[in-house]
Amino acid sequence: MPHSIAPQNDVEVGESLPPQTAHVDTSPSPLVPSISDIARFFVHKIIQQFAADIASKYGQPDEQAMLFPTPATAGRCREFILRQVPGLNSDQVRLLHLLPASEEERSEELSIVSPRISAVLFPGSHFSVAKSFWQHSGDGVSSRRAEYCQILFSKGLLVESKATLAAPKMCKGPRRYRQKTSIDLTSSEVQIHGSEGNDPAQFVEQRFGRNLDISQAKNAKLAIRRRIAGSLTANVSLTEALALEKDTGRTRDVPEFSEDDVYLYPCGMSSIFNTHRNMMSTKAPLKSIVYGFPYIDTLKIVEKFGPGCHFCGFGSAEELDDLEKRLESGERFLALFTEFPGNPLLRSPDLERIRFLADKYDFYVVVDETIGNFLNVNVLPYADAVGGNVVLNPASKNYQTLKRAWNDDYQDNHWAEDSIFLERNSRDFVSRIERVNLNAEAICDVLRAHPRVKKVYYPKFSDTRDLYEKCRNASGGYGGLLSATFYTKQDATNFFDNLDTVKGPSLGTNFTLSSPYVILAHYGELDWAASWGVEADLVRFSVGLEETSTLIGTFQRALDAISAA
């Protein structure tokens, strides 16, 4: 079946994809979202079923449930629904909090994972409203949390918070947690429990998470934060990682910076959503600025969860000139949100000038470095906060204000099992990013050489390359994301249909992904996107770890198909 560039249905981005049936862990770096981030666009089957079970037991016949990790995140969803649907009575949108039936008899493991769920029960006719909060905020439960908690719920061991007094004895959740781990994570040498020799099957069980030492979750989170801080780059086991002295040549060269300024969030959009929310708590209500054509939800967050947005969609010097005039005339803003580089046009903002304006006119600067990656670029000196996960800049004049806001508000909603996987998958992120950089440049060269390709978007060949170079680390590259447009829609379709890569809208996987990004992300607003220079037939590529020659051949064959058509 051809992968036509045209969608089959008029749907929101991601909803035309087949539902996930398994957990996916493919991210090459803690700051690069994996396929799991797609779960914001549709609700994983495991979560759907758990929500249906909760609604069936506690809800009215016409009600549905949306699941969140804490009362606070669920409460924000409830407030959003009531705000978006003024006709709803507050009693029609209810909160339900589930927790283990017996606090005293919880096992040590359950104490670590803290299996609690908060549900928002609402009229099913307003599912799309609740779903938009789920998508934009990124604060919904993960599929692994839902799977674990659903098993407890089905046994009557996860109950409504007000009914916890007379409770049965706890069990230990899914089978994979109950087995003794196949690998002793307290040793730098791999030891197999219960066997005289190395059992490859047991190693696979541990490697793919069917047998987890969940007690390592806290240490895993610390290691992840150190990697994001740039103070841990070695590809070593968790125990070795925590024993190592911090790297002296870290990529985030800001005085006094440490992992204490790194805050983990379940996904990239959760970090942006909560950054906007926390910054609003420190000032009077003010609009924010979105500079450059952004990833879809960043703009939606600023528009829907605050006083509004001043949108500089081209990311141009002229727009900064206009912004400066507005500021000189007395207009004030909360924060400027930008990406380095942007998605999908890969243009780089003038962070130096933005920082100057921010210091002069007192607004925050938030830079999402997901696409660039901190191994390639160092944007922290220009930002008050960096997105992907939240990283605060201790050299910023706003640091103490923001630090207090995060200390007062931050909740660690990173599910323990997700942390174990993320730590393990990020150990070799240095070598992966190096390989991705190499492969992306090779593909870029192939595309740029073809006469039927109209334009290739990549930081190395952008008209904003000089701005990228100001932030590029000495050993950094240009990232693993690029886009291309073609002179005709038919060429774009033929190329995409003949491109033998995995087709999908995410980025950061070990394998190359391609997608008709603009159609997926902006199908209901294609004319609007085009007005900002983003063509409907643009094809975006997230480059993986395949052999370079193999990738070149894959793209060359797709290009050859254009000429043969």
Tokens of 194: 């219960």
Q: Is residue 184 over pLDDT 80?
A: no
Model confidence over 106-165: pLDDT tens digits?
A: 556 666 677 899 999 999 999 999 999 999 999 999 999 999 999 999 999 899 987 443
How high is the mean pLDDT of the chain?
Answer: 85
Q: Is residue 27 over pLDDT 80?
A: no
**What pLDDT, on the 0 to 100 scale, is given for residue 393?**
96
Q: Is residue 29 over pLDDT 50?
A: no
Q: Is residue 487 over pLDDT 80?
A: yes
Q: Is residue 366 over pLDDT 80?
A: yes
* Of residues 181 and 552, more confidently modeled: 552
Whole-structure pTM value: 0.86
DSSP 146-163: HHHHHHHHHTT-EEEGGG
**What pLDDT, on the 0 to 100 scale, is given for residue 533?**
96
**What pLDDT, on the 0 to 100 scale, is given for residue 510?**
93
- Compute the average pLDDT of residues 528-536: 97
| Amino acid found at 437 | N
Whether a cis peptide bond, with omega within 30° of 0, leads into 341 is yes
Pairing of strands 385-387, 63-68: unpaired
Q: Is residue 256 over pLDDT 90?
A: no
Contacts 24+ apart (CB under 8 A), 455-458: 455/484, 455/485, 456/482, 456/483, 456/484, 457/344, 457/345, 457/346, 457/347, 457/482, 457/483, 457/484, 457/485, 457/538, 458/346, 458/482, 458/483
**What pLDDT, on the 0 to 100 scale, is given for residue 439?**
98
**What pLDDT, on the 0 to 100 scale, is given for residue 166?**
39
| Weakest mean pLDDT among 215-219, 324-328, 432-436 | 215-219
**What pLDDT, on the 0 to 100 scale, is given for residue 253?**
78
**What pLDDT, on the 0 to 100 scale, is given for residue 181?**
34
Q: Is residue 169 over pLDDT 60?
A: no
- Compute the average pLDDT of residues 47-70: 97
Q: Is residue 198 over pLDDT 90?
A: no
The pLDDT > 70 percentage for the chain reads 81
**What pLDDT, on the 0 to 100 scale, is given for residue 565?**
78
Reported as half-sphere exposure (CB side, CA atoms, 13 A), residue 8 has a value of: 8
Q: Is residue 317 over pLDDT 60?
A: yes
Phi, psi (rounded to 5 degrees) for 31:
-100, 0
* Of residues 424 and 101, more confidently modeled: 424
Of 547, 535, 229, which Cα lies nearest the Cα of 391? 229
Residues pairing with 365 in the sheet:
336
Q: How confident is the model at residue 40 (pLDDT cuts 50, 70, 90)?
A: low
Pairing of strands 335-339, 309-312: unpaired
Cα(533)–Cα(497) distance, rounded to whole angstroms?
Answer: 24
